[in-house]
Amino acid sequence: MESEPLVEYTRGEYRSYLHDLREQAQGWRNDAAAAGEDTSDFDLALAELDAEIGALQPVSRITEDLVEQEDAGDDASDGVAERRSRSTRRRDDAVNLPRRQRVPGTLGRVYEGRDGKGFRPSMFLTLTLPSYGRVLNGVPVDPENYDYRSATRDALHFSKLVDRFVQNLRRVAGWEVQYFAAVEPQRRLTPHLHMAIRGTLPRSVLRQVVEATYHQVWWPSVDRVVFGEGDAEPVWSDGHGYVRPSTGEVLPSWDEALDALEDHASADDGPMEPLHVARFGSQMDMQGVLAGTADADQRVRYLTKYLTKSLSWDAVLKADDGGSARAAHVARLGEALRWEPCSPECANWLRYGLQPRQAKSGLRAGWCRKKAHSPDRMGYGGRRVLVSRKWSGKTLAGHKADRRAWALAAAGLDPEQEAREPGRYVWRRLSASDPALEPVAVRLLRLVAARQAARAAREGPPDGGPEHVGKASDPATGREV
């Protein structure tokens, strides 16, 4: 059976861990308050976490997207930078999360088989985004009614939605769920998630968590274009920020825009609605997996295959034979993404008459330099590989040491000799134009050939067949390995 991982934290990693723990504790406190239970113990724990976080950094800033306090009275304290707060009450159109007793650990529940032996299954989960219109072979059947705006917004905020799902999953499971996940582009050009999860939950409970997960984007409205294409663009004025070119009037700042939004909601005596609410779609696939089985190996291959798929629109077009309909779909999605703000700092806010947060000279609407707007990202600005802190039980230094040892062994060098004689080998990063660097296709095929040869050596000839069966050839030389 597996044992709990021992994790050695650096200062930065420990600070991030405390932030995550505080976010979970705030959620438990809110659940208890909603159920009418005593929250004094949670309040004490939150105060202790705030004190420890404050001791690790000069100014303790807990990101607004991760922690939303219940009332404005908790909004600021001595030595803590002020942050906006809003109600953590769940949306009326969202189902409630089931509650389970909290247990320490990261491994999940142990089941007992018929033979009396214990086993701990895991899960392989696939989550997708909602439908934006009927598609055929990845191309909208009715492009005019396809919801490109929602598609781009969901892609831009997909990483936040995944964070919310993990937080809810840990709250419901009761243990600190660990995972390894990969984000892959679907044929319709929207991201979806493949996640290997340690431990297991009933499918019905897992579906409840998916349906209860959402991410609200509390940004100003973008329904009215103030500076369209062909109009004179806002100009930068030192000491003032961006101003209207005709009158010199300073554009509202990001904070002023949020203040105006909240004032408008208060004046109407109604709740402030978010710009967008991101949710997962109804399609969900969960498969149980047991470690050490052929099925588990296959799932690992799936994850590695997903990571080799490009997010680039150009790569999608080259690999697809959909013709002009496919190209038109890419163009429409790219046009919608071009003008959609990707973050509070996005240059596209100038199009809607607002200064981006932390505005600086040189910004231009429609030409945001953040990676979410890159043609190689399809609107997804997060990481392709998502790994929880305790998935492997190793620190970054430990992984670096493993990679170094593997590289030495692959080169036929002795790691122990390298350790005894520091400086014996020189390590340097090869550039893409270095003549010593083989093409990526050759390197991948060489690794595949080596793996096939190692597997053939372990398993031997199948059913007593000829010994050459299962052998592979080196892609560079053509010789058997």
- Rounded to whole angstroms, the Cα distance separating 62 from 81 reads 9
The answer for residues whose C-beta is within 8 angstroms of residue 437's C-beta and 6 or more apart is 430, 431
Which of 306-310, 457-461, 473-477 is the least confident region? 473-477
65 pLDDT above the threshold of 50: no
Judgement on whether residues 295 and 213 belong to the same structural domain of the protein: yes
pLDDT of the residue at 214 = 94
pLDDT of the residue at 181 = 92
Task: Report pLDDT digits (tens) over 275-316.
Answer: 999 999 999 999 888 888 888 888 888 888 877 776 666 655
Judgement on whether residues 154 and 209 belong to the same structural domain of the protein: yes
Q: Is residue 145 part of a domain?
A: yes
265 — pLDDT class (breaks 50, 70, 90): low
Task: Report pLDDT digits (tens) over 141-192.
Answer: 999 999 999 999 999 999 999 999 999 999 888 888 999 999 988 888 899 9
Judgement on whether residues 68 and 130 belong to the same structural domain of the protein: no
Q: Which of 131, 133, 130, 108 is nearest to 121 (CA)?
A: 108
Give 279's strand partners.
Answer: 214
Judgement on whether residues 68 and 117 belong to the same structural domain of the protein: no
Q: How many domains does the chain have?
A: 3
Alpha-carbon distance values, 95 to 62, 81, 160, 212, 416 (Å): 27, 34, 19, 5, 57
Judgement on whether residues 271 and 375 belong to the same structural domain of the protein: yes
Q: Which of 387, 402, 419 is the last residue of a domain?
A: 387
pLDDT of the residue at 437 = 81
231 pLDDT above the threshold of 80: yes
446 — pLDDT class (breaks 50, 70, 90): confident
Give 242's strand partners.
Answer: 236
Judgement on whether residues 123 and 182 belong to the same structural domain of the protein: yes
Q: Is residue 80 part of a domain?
A: no
Domain ranges, residue 438: 433-481
Judgement on whether residues 351 and 441 belong to the same structural domain of the protein: no
pLDDT average, residue stretch 213-234? 90
Q: Which of 357, 387, 417 is the last residue of a domain?
A: 387
Q: Is residue 448 part of a domain?
A: yes
469 — pLDDT class (breaks 50, 70, 90): very low
Judgement on whether residues 378 and 450 belong to the same structural domain of the protein: no
Strand residues in 89-240 grouped as ranges (E): 111-112, 118-119, 122-127, 135-136, 139-140, 179-185, 191-197, 214-217, 235-237
Task: Report pLDDT digits (tens) over 367-405.
Answer: 999 989 987 788 888 888 888 888 887 777 787 888 878
pLDDT of the residue at 56 = 66
Q: Is residue 320 part of a domain?
A: yes
Q: Which of 421, 384, 351 is nearest to 159 (CA)?
A: 384
Based on the number of CB atoms within 10 Å of its own CB, is 477 exposed (0-12), middle (13-18) or buried (19 or more)?
A: exposed
Q: Which of 392, 396, 375, 376 is nearest to 384 (CA)?
A: 376
Q: Which of 331, 353, 387 is the last residue of a domain?
A: 387
Judgement on whether residues 181 and 66 belong to the same structural domain of the protein: no
Q: Is residue 271 part of a domain?
A: yes
pLDDT of the residue at 375 = 77
Q: Is residue 94 part of a domain?
A: no
Judgement on whether residues 367 and 320 belong to the same structural domain of the protein: yes
79 pLDDT above the threshold of 50: no
320 pLDDT above the threshold of 70: no
Q: Is residue 397 part of a domain?
A: no
477 pLDDT above the threshold of 70: no
Judgement on whether residues 354 and 478 belong to the same structural domain of the protein: no
Task: Report pLDDT digits (tens) over 200-214.
Answer: 888 999 999 999 999
Judgement on whether residues 242 and 365 belong to the same structural domain of the protein: yes
Q: Is residue 85 part of a domain?
A: no
